[in-house]
Structure 1
């Protein structure tokens, strides 16, 4: 006796007869004139003969051999043995319901998996970012501590150099010591300011004051340097322009911006300073000519310790942190600063506060 084949895990595959027996369908025959000559609704309990005739008429009107009407798919076939056609309707409601169940199940599983993944990323990201955050915090603290530690030796060097000049007189070595001490002291002041802003301990004490007077005073303080380089200065500063910000920080901002313009403007070049009131905001622009434009994007100029002089010489006296301080001050006072190049040799800094 031949051994029967073991059934599949989910049952044996249905043959054509099983499929035909389990399907809900009905058949309508029409003659050559389109009149109904036969209706078979024995394989369905939801459609009457009258409804079957109506559906057959709709299928004929569609002028397609196959298609869908509601929950039924139909197929129109020409009879071989006689004139006329046969229209077979198949109920696909169960199939549509199965599709919807699969779609709903797939969507639910996808949403659950996405939520689990999001929760995992949220929990693991803290562990992954913690070392980086701690390292950045240590770097900020190091700059602050180092700055305070260096301030004392700088003050001692400065005072000892001045005392030595009282006994021996000023010479080129003492002048160099004082210049480099002042340079390093200025650098440490900027680094400490940036560090305090990064740590959030540098508070902004905003008040209302006249920005026009402050800017004019800053320009006057730089006039001797501009005249020494034969720089042509153009200013457009309306009177009595008020601003709500930290006055000491805005004063430092103007000083750094004008100092930067004077340093990098070529001999006999041009500086243009303009202040405009735009609705509730102020726009402050400084344009200056230079020997050649930096070979980097304007946004790169605000990076800390960026120098257009790749050799990093002290010929210009800068150390590549002034614009970083400017950006920090502007952001602390809820403003925006941007740089742009204007051909052929003009750099423009625009501040909106």
Structure 2
């Protein structure tokens, strides 16, 4: 009985050690994804903070104006979009990116329009149905059904963009990359 109990405890200890080692990459991946989303959100909010501060300084220097009110409204609007939209798109890009792949985020002003582009490595581009990618419950990778998400993120992102009179599209960027592009009128 003592030998049986000792064997049971040794096996239990080995299982605990093995399970910790097995889930460690998942924990690290989640932490990296969370850090990336936080960093990207911060990088996108920094220019908005500068614009807001400059608007406030100009308002103090030149007095109130409907132009400054417009700038403040647009900064508040973009800040709201950055808490919600950026998080959804970056989370999606990180989730579907190849393990050794990259996620690239760009934010530009082009011809009085604000353009956000998020590109990620995705090995199965040829099987991705870009016409359905913003549909509720659509999944480009059917093997990810058990990851705890429901396939609603991109549908919500599309609704956020449309509510703010913007456009969102997804397309292949070469044979192994996907790009999500959001455009707002400035």
8 Å Cα contact 2:45/2:82 also seen in 1: no
1: CA distance, partners of 2:144 / 2:120: 21
8 Å Cα contact 1:285/1:350 also seen in 2: yes
Q: How does 1:42-191 map to 2 (within 5 A)?
A: none
Q: How does 1:326-341 map to 2 (within 5 A)?
A: 326-341=157-172
Is the partner of 1:251 in helix, strand or coil?
helix
Q: How does 1:307-326 map to 2 (within 5 A)?
A: 307-310=139-142, 313-315=145-147, 317-326=148-157
2: CA distance, partners of 1:348 / 1:331: 18
Which structure has the greater CA radius of gyration? Answer: 1
Q: How does 1:206-245 map to 2 (within 5 A)?
A: 224-226=31-33, 240=47, 244=74, 245=77
2: CA distance, partners of 1:259 / 1:342: 19
Deviation at 1:291, TM superposition (A): 2.8
Is the partner of 2:127 in helix, strand or coil?
coil
2: CA distance, partners of 1:227 / 1:240: 21
| Count of residue pairs the alignment pairs up | 126
Aligned to 1:260: 92
2: CA distance, partners of 1:265 / 1:296: 13
Deviation at 1:311, TM superposition (A): 5.5
271-280 or 306-315: which moved more? Answer: 306-315
Counterparts in 2 of 1:299 and 1:347: CA distance versus 1, 3 Å: same
Aligned to 1:290: 122
Q: What TM-score, normalized to structure 2?
A: 0.57
Counterparts in 2 of 1:257 and 1:298: CA distance versus 1, 3 Å: same
2: CA distance, partners of 1:328 / 1:227: 23
For CA contacts below 8 A with separation 6 or more, give which structure has more relative contact order.
2
Aligned to 1:306: 138
Q: Which has the higher helix share?
A: 2
Counterparts in 2 of 1:284 and 1:267: CA distance versus 1, 3 Å: same
Q: CA RMSD in A?
A: 3.2
2: CA distance, partners of 1:238 / 1:248: 10
Deviation at 1:310, TM superposition (A): 3.4
Is the partner of 1:299 in helix, strand or coil?
coil
1: CA distance, partners of 2:34 / 2:165: 34
Deviation at 1:293, TM superposition (A): 1.6
Q: What TM-score, normalized to structure 1?
A: 0.32
Which of 105, 108, 119 lines up with 1:273 in the alignment? 105
Which structure 1 segments of 5+ residues have no match?
1-221
